[in-house]
Every structure is written in C-alpha cells, then in structure tokens.
Amino acid sequence: MTVIIAGERSGVGKTTVTLAILSYLKQQNFKVQSFKVGPDYIDPMFHLYVTGKPCYNLDSILTSESYIKTCYFKQILASDYGLIEGVMGLFDGIPNGDNVPIASTAQIALILNLPVILVLDCSRLSGSIAAITLGFKTLNPHLNLAGLILNKVGSDRHLELLKTSLKFLNIPIIGILKRQENIEIPARHLGLIPTEELPELDLLIQDLAKLAESWFDWEQLLPLLKYTPKTEFFKETAFLNPSVEPRIKIAIARDAAFNFYYAENLEILQQLGAELIEWSPLTDHQLPPGIQGLYFGGGFPEVFAEKLSQNQLILQAVKQAILLGMPTYAECGGLMYLCEKIIDFENNSWSMVGVLPTTAVMGKRLKLGYYQAKVLKTTPLLLEGEIITGHEFHRSELLENSTQPLYEMQRFFSVENNTSILEGWGNLPNVHGSYLHLHWGDKIEIPMRFLECCRNYQP
C-alpha cells in the first residue's frame, strides 16, 4: 500500500508534511519512491533532493489513466515505501459533473485505489474542524480517508478541542504539527524557490527529519506507507534498443535558470537512444561538442536574466547553432531565452539569444491552466493537424506574437466561452518554441520525432 497526502486546500502544509515523512524514511535508510499529483515541477525537485530518486508526476490530463497505473506500478516496485503528494485541495480539479474532478487528487486516489491522509489547517477554528472533515469523508464514499494530520495547532488546549470535535468521526489522527513548529519553505512568484537556490536546504531537511519523529504516529503511518507488491499488470512502453550506437547527443540546459523537466521526458529520450549532456547557459561559454539537438526546459530565466545576458559567448553559440538548423525544443522559460530580450519585474531589459523576433515581459497576472491545442505548423516534435494537450504556468507574455504560430489553443474543459488563442513560434522550421509544457509519458511519437530530426541534422 502507498498513501496519498492530500490537503483541504492549497497552502495547508502538504509539501512540508510530505518532505518530513520522506526525510525521516530516508534517514532510516529505507528505499522510498515519491510521486506528485498534477503538472508541478518544483515540488518533485524537493522530493528528489530528499530521496535521491526522481519523483514522477501523475496527471490524467497530460497523460492518461492507463499511463498513471503503468508509471506508478513500474516505479514503486523496487521500493520499501511510497508516498504521493496531492495537488491543491483533495477535490480541486476540472469539474466534470460528478464529485471526482478531472486531474484532482481524489481522481488519482480512485484510479490507483489508494488511501488518503488529509492535512487540515487548524488555525482559527476548533469545533468546526469536524464539519470540514465530515464533508471530505462523505462527498465521495468510494474514497478511503485513512487518517488526518492536524497542522498549525496552537496549544494543548486547542488540540484537546480538536480531538473532542473529531472523535465521533472515528478517523485516526496520524500527525500533529504545532503552530510554533511550522516550517516555511521560501517561495516566490511561481511557487516554492527551487532547491538549487536554497543553500541551507540540508539543514531544513535535517530539521524536518527530526521533527517528523514527534509529529507523526509512526505505528499507524508506516503500514499505510509500506508498499505491498500487487499483481496489477502494467504495460511496458516499447522503446528502441537503448544500446544502439551511435547515441544521439542532446544538450539539456540545466542550472538554476532552467530546471523544469519531467523525469519521464528525460528518461524516455535516454531509452530511445539519446545521450543527454547537461550544460549551463549561466556559466558555460560554449556548447558541448558534437551535439545534435538542444532542449531548453522551463525555469526562471527572468530571475537570472542579467547573468544570462552577460554570457555573450554562449548566447552567440546558441544562436549560431539554431540558425545553422540544429533541432531545438524550447519550452516556456526556454522560449523566453530564445527571444531578443527579457524585461524583468523591475522593468530592466536584458538581451537574450535573439532567434525569435520578440520580447518576453514579466507581468503580475499568472497564466495558468490546461490547454488543448491543434498543431498549425510541423515542428521537430509535432505534425501539422495533430491535437495535443499541455499545461501553461507563467507570468510573462510576448510583446509580439509570431506570424507563424504553432498552435490554435482552447482551455481544456472550459465551462465559459472557450475562445481560441494562437500561441507558439514556428518562424524557424527547426525550432519548437512555446509556453505549453508537454508530458511525453504516453506520447512516445513526440520524442521519437525529435530524435529523428536530431539524427538527421547536418550543420
């Protein structure tokens, strides 16, 4: 069995609870596998930092129910314990007419038939905690609410009131976090600050592991976390022979500015015969030798725009490689890097690669959501006419849109007037540049096309 850590809303402490449990288990030298519900990149970075193993995203919109099962059962096999961190509140997702919203934590729990532990923010309430919990328990009777974690408990008297109110529900209290012990993980405009930018993260993880000993009732929690092998069949994806030579060399931009990558995307590339060569647009002054393709993930180029702009040698090297026809995938932050300029939150303008004749400007409004997109122009990854689904999460916008957009997009399952928007840059045939994040889990044809373009690249 593996348990899902859910919240009654965003900001109740799911990530803190999850990291505390993972830290404690890792300190005890257990093999732990973690997962994250939804499209988030940053929480999985923290999971990886603690466990030393990639964290895998479970998202029924970006992938499918069958892929979620395949991913979960494949990755959990070699572990002693497993843990899934939910997204937002337990029932937060895209409404579909019943009480299991699409892409919600509740949907993932039902797909995998796993129990849920609910984290509750107990500040500013006492007796009302029972009404909140009862609602979560009864909204969908098929869900197994296996326990509660009470966060931000103010005092022993406060805890007594909470326990008294919850007693009649007969739901075990698995953990208690006192308000004064609450640990805050630094955040900014797109969520938590990534692990690479937190020099004191080791101390935080050590503190979490120590506090976890007293926070949780381990006699109740460990059996829920313990993975019990099951007979569920999972379908192995048919990959090319990974030992095929020569391997296709793909340069992966990976540093503090670019670090939004789904673990599956990178693993699939490797399984298809790619050699992934990591490099840094912040500190390297030349591209890795012999590469056949470029992959720029998302991240925070706006935070490091000055340093990126100062590295003129690499900006020119990237520009030259792209103009010579090197296949290039640039996603969100990567798209911004390929623009002529980035204008940051302080209205400072910084020069970038300049192969896309537009400027990325940081704004206050968060652009967030799932989109279904029709491909308007063939790229190294997609064919004209295909329909794909992706996710956007950014605070920048482009001053000039492309005269050759990649996508015609609509919000996924929007209940409002769902107008189409044009997005992405297709002005160079070898470049796929878009704000839309793609997960390749059950779309093997996408990375296969990319690698084939890279294999055929002739500068």
Active site residues: 332
What one-letter code names the amino acid at 434? S
Pairwise CA distance, residues 261 & 259, whole Å: 6
- Phi/psi for 246 (5° steps) reads -80, 150
Burial annotation 188-226 (CB, 10 A radius, 16+ → b, else e)? eebebbbbbebeebeebbeebbebbeebbebeebbebbe
Residue 96: alpha-carbon gap to chain centroid: 23
SS3 405: coil
Q: Are 338 and 357 in contact (CB under 8 A)?
A: no
Q: In Å, what is the CA distance from 202 to each residue of 25, 194, 197?
A: 15, 13, 12
89-96: long-range contacts, CB 8 A cutoff, minimum separation 24: 89/6, 89/7, 89/8, 89/9, 89/10, 90/6, 90/7, 90/8, 90/116, 90/118, 90/136, 91/136, 91/139, 91/140, 92/9, 92/10, 94/61, 94/370, 94/412, 94/413, 95/413, 95/415, 96/413
Q: What are phi and psi of 269, to 5 degrees?
A: -55, -45
Structure tokens at 22: 């993972």
CA distance 454 to 269: 12
First vs last C-alpha separation in the chain: 52
Task: Please state the separation of Cα 140 from the chain's center in Å.
Answer: 27
Structure tokens at 100: 């299991």
Coil vs helix vs strand at 455: helix
Torsion of CA 61, 267, 37, 101, to 10 degrees: 10
Instruction: Give me the count of residues in the chain.
Output: 459
